[in-house]
Structure 1
Amino acid sequence: MNSSGPTYPLASLYVGDLHPDVTEAMLYQKFSPAGPIISIRVCRDIITRRSLGYAYINFQQPADAECALDTMNYDLIKGRPIRIMWSQRDPGLRKSGVGNIFIKNMDESIDNKALYDTFSTFGNILSCKVVSDEKGSKGYGFVHFETQEAANRAIETMNGMLLNDKKVFVGHFKSRKEREMESGSKASKFTNVYIKNFGEDLQKSNDTLRKVFGTINRHS
């Protein structure tokens, strides 16, 4: 049995927020000082072959990958800060919600690095991102911790704290399905209905409408 098999995923890094012109050769030059590299792949569009803005780097040793993550995260390549995370190839882990927290009401000056530095004190971070557009930060972001315990510590400590003079909300991340279920439960409490296109007989009297629809509750 190949003893390196079980540790291979731990030696794989995701590198995101790449400039479109960044190549495998540039990444090799940047990351090879951390240790021997097995492979580097910049992900590209199948048709146009343009970079999708992220890459995967596989080191021989997990310790070397960890060194690269700790020392090179948010370094500049072609003028852009790169974002390094452990590569999570298990979609179940990414979608489980375990260890995920949501931060909002952040000052616009807080970037990915500042968010990472703030929350890394609570435990190992698998991924960290401030949501932004062409105008800059949108004031919220996400941090995915390795354990739920670390996420709980971050929430208990940081929720309601001031970050750059703004009180932030920190809570458990809720998936789209969870949010839809919550909104659905609220909608179920809504009891008004809208009726149109009824005949002239009903238009003349509210009492007639009450008689028609008043029987619904008794029959249900």
Structure 2
Amino acid sequence: MDAKQNDKEVSLYLGNLDPKVDETLLYELFVQFAPVKSIRLPKDKVLRRHQGYGFVEFFNVKDCEYVLNICSGLSLYGKVLRVKKLIGGQTEAPELDEDIGPVVYVGNLDKLVDSGSISATFANFGTFRKPPQVVAGEKSNHAFIYYTDFESSDEAIKEMNGKIIMNRPIKMDYAYKKDSKEKHGDRTERLLYEKARENNFELEQLKKR
């Protein structure tokens, strides 16, 4: 096993990191469990913010395994930390955070509309990164659509807002961000999401080599 593979064997992937988390906080957290060799948080070149994931490296496999087991379910700033092993000596592609990216709200839906019909209606505009979610209300349903890119979500909103589905004019817009009064789709989020997608693609390519 070469030195590069050894580095991966003693490293963990950290996901679902709150923007307030930094290298110092992570070091102080993990050094309580085992000696830490390094902390790395890849940052966006434009905004100089980390993109919701990072890596912690230890000095040996035993410590790495111990931290992996003990930190399951740990929360930082109210967000459950995702801690995973790196796969096959190579960097595991980070999952794109569900709180970042195109999330479209569809309102005033007939009670008979379900996730299957929403998928069939809106799949023409682009690929979903997760299945659409339909939420039942007292008088009507509403749905959330998760596209893989903002071009698709922009087009869906432009073309479908106000259109009739099962005798109801639907309302479409970007959904509000979780625990926030801001909506998805702003310039900052678009930059962060595109950079995260680029990194995700690059790491997926590494796994195929």
TM above 0.5:
no
Q: TM-score, normalised by structure 2?
A: 0.41
Which one has the largest radius of gyration?
Answer: 1
Higher-RCO chain (CA-CA 8 Å, sequence separation at least 6): 2
